[in-house]
Amino acid sequence: MKVTLTVWRQPGPTATGKFETYEVDEVSEDMSFLELFDVLNDRLVGKGEEPVAFDHDCREGICGSCSMMINGRPHGPELGTATCQLHMRKFQDGAKITVEPWRAAAFPIVRDLVVDRSAFDRIVESGGYITAPTGSAPDGNLILIPKAVADSAMDAAQCIGCGACVAACPNGAANLFTAAKIMHLNLLPQGQPERWERVTNMVQTMERYFGSCTNHGECQTACPKEISIDFIALMNRDYIKAQFKQRRLASQRG
């Protein structure tokens, strides 16, 4: 098959970017979308043009590196699928495909389709952990966790940190990512001692970098792991409760 790619090219973080159009023929329908870019790049290098920079690594939908906005949809047309798992058989012969980087104020463009998602790491650093220094743990089976609780925590923990939710959001909010991380830990018994501090710190750090959520729900549709926006509701509930708890603790101390 043959496709026409319109790709965002930007040589550096401060350079101005523009769209370039490339015709790619002899595309096999068994190719993944990233293999299409491998072929494009090989041909560009052959012609003496610089290849398109894009992030990728595992190519199995788990590392969260790949991040292409395909025809206006983060990770493209197939639901629950990261860019690297998308295959060309999902496109028509002759398709015109526009590919852009994630667009969000908190994710500055590094080059072409590569963005800097470090703001996600800052959110996790602000509280997305359980303090459990190595060597101090009791036997794993001393902490009983009902299967349903472990399963819900796992539903949230599956987030791959790709940022599609932010790219999909008209406000560039990171609520789905942040909620997934917070609720993974806040649902578990081990996460209780730091629960209120965690949600307060992480939400505040999120707000420092990202836009605010106005409940569009685009994030859930874009998420390759189909993480539910119910986690955002749970996070909001915990956040409100935390304000109350923190105050009460403060007054008790005083």
Partner 1 sequence: MALDAKIPAGPIAHKWDNHKFDVKLVNPANKRRFKVIVVGTGLAGASAAASLAELGYQVEVHTFHDSPRRAHSIAAQGGINAAKNYRNDDDSVHRLFYDTVKGGDYRAREANVYRLAQVSVDIIDQCVAQGVPFAREYGGLLDNRSFGGAQVSRTFYARGQTGQQLLLGAYQALANQIQLGNVKLHNRSEMLDLVVKDGVAVGIVARNLMTGAITSHSAHAVVLATGGYGNVFYLSTNAKASNVTAAWRAHKRGAYMANPCFTQIHPTCIPASDEFQSKLTLMSESLRNDGRIWVPKEFGDERPPGQIPEEDRDYYLERRYPAFGNLVPRDVASRASKREVDAGRGVGPLKNGVYLDFADAIDRLGRHVIEERYGNLFQMYERITGEDPYVVPMRIYPAVHYTMGGLWVDYNLMSNVPGLYVLGEANFSDHGANRLGASALMQGLADGYFVLPATIGDYLAPQLGSQPVTTDDPVFAETQRSVEDTISRFLSIRGTRSVDWFHRELGKIVWDNCGMARSTESLEKAIAEIPALREEFWNDVRILGEGDTLNQSLEKAGRVADFLEFGELMCRDALHREESCGGHFRVEHQTEDGEALRNDDDFAYVAAWEYTGDHASPALHKEQLEFENVHLAQRSYK
Tokens read off for 251: 């007054």
Choose the one of ligand FES, partner 1, ligand SF4, none that binds residue 66, judging by a C-beta under 5 to 8 angstroms depending on kind.
ligand FES
Question: What does the CA dihedral 47, 50, 73, 203 come to, rounded to 10 degrees?
Answer: 170
Among 19, 25, 50, 241, binds partner 1 (CB under 8 A): 50
Residue 220, classed as helix, strand or coil, is: helix
86 vs 222, beta carbon nearer partner 1: 86
Residue 74 DSSP class: E
Burial 65-103 (b: 16+ CB within 10 A, else e): bbbbbbeebbbbebeebbbbbbbbeebeeeeebebbbbe
Q: Please report whether residue 80 would count as binding ligand FES according to CB under 6 A.
A: no
Residue 189 DSSP class: G
Scanning 76-84, 172-180, 183-191, 199-207 for contacts with ligand FES by CB under 6 A, the matching segment is 76-84
Q: Please report whether residue 58 would count as binding ligand FES according to CB under 6 A.
A: yes
Q: Please report whether residue 56 would count as binding ligand FES according to CB under 6 A.
A: yes
Instruction: State how far the Cα of 117 lies from the Cα of 102, in Å rounded to an integer.
Output: 10
Among 5, 8, 56, 74, binds partner 1 (CB under 8 A): 56
Site for partner 1 in 176-235 (CB under 8 A): 184-185, 188, 190-191
Among 66, 97, 99, 104, binds ligand FES (CB under 6 A): 66
Answer whether 218's CB lies under 8 Å from 166's CB: no
Facing residues of 211 across strands?
A: 173
Binding characters for ligand FES, 132-161, by CB under 6 A (x = yes): ----------------------------x-
Helix (H) or strand (E) segment spanning residue 85: none
Report in angstroms how near the CB of residue 83 gets to ligand FES at its nearest. 6
